[in-house]
Amino acid sequence: RDFKPDNVMIGDDGRVRVMDFGLASVAAEPREDDGGDDDVAGGRSEPNPLTRSGTVMGTPAYMAPEQHRAEPADAASDQFAFCIALYEALYGERPFAGATLGEQVLAVTSGELREAPASSSVPGWLREIVCRGLASDRAERFESMQALLDALVEAELAHEVDERQPPAYVFVVHDGRDKQQVLRLCEGLIDLGVRPWLDMWEAGERAERQRALAEAPAVIVCGAGEHAEVLAARIARDPTTVYAARLPGSGGLGDRHADVELDEASWDEAVLALARLVGIDHERRRWLELEAARAGVEAGALSPYRGLEAFREQDARWMFGRDAEVASLLDLIRVGQTRFLTLIGASGSGKSSLLMAGVCPMLRHGVLGDGAMWSIAYLRPGSRPCEALAHAIVGLDASGDAVEDGLKIKRLRAELRDGHDTLRLILGRRSQGRTLLVIDQLEELFTEAGLGGEGESEEALAFVRNLLEATQELTGLDSKLWIAATLRADFVQRALEIPALARALQVGTYFALPPMSESQIRAAIERPAARVGHRVEAKLVDKLVGAAAHQAGRLPLLQHVLRELWARRDASRRLLREAVYAETGGLEGAIATAAERALAELCKQLGADAELSTRRLVTRLVHLGNRSSEDTRRRVALADLDEDPTTRRVLEVLVGEARVLVAAEVDGRETVEIAHEALLREWTTLVGWLDADREALKLRQ
């Protein structure tokens, strides 16, 4: 790279741009001059890779020590050049003295920085950051250019003088159609030290939202919200803490003056300006306490990471990094040409979380902007899919009387089994807007319900036919039903072998979920911690990103290890530390480490019976394929498990302490299941049990 002031241009719009992105050819040997703007290289004039070792390339005055030593250049070398240019802009001279090029090179490689001029007004915190970027050892510089830029912003904000008490939260008023832009704005505010109150992040009814607005210490208005009278009263009470922000391409403010104009060209600067207007909490010391109070738990019991469990609607405030995929899915629903959307991805790719904590809160809070109210029902097919569907539908308009609702479910299950148009007719009679039916883990039709093969389940087939009838091309566009299902990628072929299900998939829309990128993984790591006023060490972030980005099936492993790291955080410094990472077992080993630790504790407490009871229990929670790669988790009613004291204690530890099992009430029954299929791959003890007993377990199954 060849970063230098000559390559930096300021456009008519005020934006700073780097115009030259590297050397196209090498030049002559370096001359003994002032080290200015001549490009230097050893060897012939021919194209060379920018990071070639053994060749000196670049502008000497802006080259890093490693470049002078003909070592490979990297991002740390760019950082060094950037800091030379920044130093020059701040002090009017370059940071390394020398009358000749040789003297300059010696100063650079030895790290001999000039002393700051006595008359300089550059603050000490700024010089400290710039000098770190100029460290002769690249390992001592910032972890990345982004880390350097973040340090500049954070330090500047921390040294600002603002006598105001930062608001405990700021209510964001907006038009639902702008929700995706507003979500991006709110994420940026969290990064800077502002706690936004956003409807899709908050559970509660309309009255609760009105109260939050009326009592808000500060308000950001991005457009016309649903509480015009409450907003008017809030403005009348204290107009000085109400701020207007105009979103790109939005007419939500009308003729109202905007305190901040948000646009793509200067988005980050505008968000920073808005945060300063509202008031930044630089310390964030109470953020964990405030989040815990909101959740109704003690601060010590709150974790910003989900571990092995999928994100649900109520967890939307903790899910970050999937904004692009949420937008794509909403576009498919908005177009509305098909009503059956299938989200396909590898196990552990975040399919369930994307739908439940990404798409559903957006729909429920008006992102489509058509005024329609959305009801959302969730189900997993399980072994009795028509019963699961009946539970979901009755739950939309539950009476609150368990006996009455139970009779409705029983009756509706029978109707669904007997009639393929039952679902369409039932939902067609609902007067309350639209319905989204979320079917999680569609593969359970094969693993649990017996769809396909010999002795095919009539209930499973009836379930599929009801879905198809309610969403088919001729009737679907007139119905009020949308279906969004998740399906593991390795079950697609089996799905296509079932004519009815193949038709449902083929007339609908596929969405193949890609692995998360590096920037998405960073957001998933850093923002949940930021929401509770904590940080994650940069080296730890880099390690986790390197282990999880662009790889299928790593998200539950990432969430699990983050939860472990949170439990072992440095509470006094509010920091998740890289030094603790190895103790957890790392990304691949953390789940197995937790499970083995729990098993060892059980053996210590219960003796020899503990391992046998654990083995019997967890192997019952697996639906076995012909080989281990085809195994899936299986939900079992607690009533069907042994009730001896040893089994009960095993359940208590694996559910409540190790969190490798999950207990929940499903369709009126207490159930237990393995927290995530990642355990079937990573916990080698369990894999060994399953392989050793595979034939006997399949016979019992």
Length of the chain: 701
* 596, 685 contact by CB (below 8 A): yes
Q: Which of the following CATH numbers is that of domain 5-158: 1.10.1060.10, 1.10.10.10, 1.10.510.10, 1.10.357.10? A: 1.10.510.10
Residue 259: predicted pLDDT = 94
The 10s digit of each residue's pLDDT in 6-19 is 778 887 767 777 77
pLDDT tens per residue, range 198-210: 999 997 788 999 9
Q: Which candidate, 323, 358, 361, places its Cα nearest to that of 200?
A: 361
420-470 pLDDT, tens per residue? 999 999 988 887 788 999 999 999 999 889 898 777 789 999 999 999 888
CB within 8 Å of 10: residues ≥ 6 apart: 16, 17
Q: What confidence category does residue 406 fall into, taking pLDDT thresholds of 50, 70 and 90?
A: very high
- Lowest mean pLDDT, pick from 122-136, 176-190, 198-212, 687-701: 687-701
Whole-angstrom distance, CA of residue 621 vs CA of residue 642: 13
Q: Which two tokens stand for residue 89?
A: 């802009």
Least confident of 44-53, 134-143, 330-339: 44-53
Higher pLDDT, 81 or 508: 81
Q: How many Cβ atoms from other residues are within 10 Å of residue 697's Cβ?
A: 17
CA angle in degrees (0–180, nearest 5) for 423-424-425: 95
- Cβ-based neighbours of 648, under 8 Å, separated by 6 or more: none
CA 119 – CA 638 distance, rounded (Å): 76
Question: End-to-end CA distance of the chain, in Å?
Answer: 62
For residue 331, give Cα distances in angstroms to 130, 180, 322, 328, 334.
44, 12, 14, 5, 5
Task: Determine contact, residues 507/473, Cβ cutoff 8 Å.
Answer: yes
CB 194 within 8 A of CB 279: yes
Is a pLDDT exceeding 50 seen at residue 370? yes
Rounded CA separation 650/56 (Å):
64
Could you write out the three-class secondary structure of 318-382? HCCCCHHHHHHHHHHHHHCCCCEEEEEECCCCCHHHHHHHHHHHHHHCCCCCCCCCEEEEEECCC
Residue 57: per-residue pLDDT? 52
Q: For 340, list phi and psi in degrees, rounded to 5.
A: -120, 105
Higher-confidence position of 698 and 122: 122
Mean pLDDT, residues 138-153 taken together: 90
Domain 170-282 sits in CATH at 3.40.50.10140
For 538-591, how does the pLDDT look when each residue is reduced to its tens digit (9 = 90+)?
899 999 999 998 887 889 989 999 999 999 999 999 999 999 998 888 887 888
Write out pLDDT tens, residues 71-107: 988 889 999 999 999 999 999 999 999 888 899 999 9
Evaluate if residue 48 carries a pLDDT over 60: no
The single-letter DSSP state of residue 72 is P
Dist CA 98 CA 60 (whole Å): 12
Alpha helices in 99-205 (DSSP H): 101-110, 124-133, 145-158, 179-192
Confidence at residue 326, expressed as pLDDT on a 0 to 100 scale:
96
pLDDT band at 41 (very low <50, low <70, confident <90, very high): very low
When pLDDT is cut at 50, 70 and 90, the band that residue 47 belongs to is very low
pLDDT in tens, 224-268: 888 899 999 999 999 999 999 999 988 778 788 899 999 998 999
* pLDDT (0 to 100) of residue 85: 93
How confident is residue 40, by pLDDT bands cut at 50, 70 and 90? Answer: very low
Which pLDDT band, with edges at 50, 70 and 90, does 154 fall under? Answer: confident
Q: For position 398, what pLDDT does the model report?
A: 85
Least Cα distance to 552 among 337, 250, 344 occurs for 344
| Residue 54, pLDDT score | 45
Name the helix (H) or strand (E) containing 314: none
Residue 313 to residue 202: CA distance in whole angstroms: 10
3-class SS letters over 391-444: HHHHHHCCCCCHHHHHHHHHHHHHHHHHCCCHHHHHHHCCCCCEEEEEECCCCH
In 3-state terms, what secondary structure has residue 252? coil
Q: How many CB atoms lie within 10 A of CB 319?
A: 25
Q: What is the pTM of this model?
A: 0.79
Neighbours of 437 (CB within 10 A): 25
Tokens, residue 463: 């379930």
Name the class of domain 322-512: alpha beta
Query: What residue has token string 């059956």?
Result: 340
Is residue 2's pLDDT more than 80? Answer: no
Rounded distance, CA 306 to CA 60, Å? 50
What are the pLDDT digits (tens) for 270-326? Answer: 999 999 999 999 999 999 999 999 999 999 999 999 998 899 999 999 999 999 999
The mean predicted confidence, pLDDT, of the chain is 88
For residue 169, pLDDT beyond 90: yes
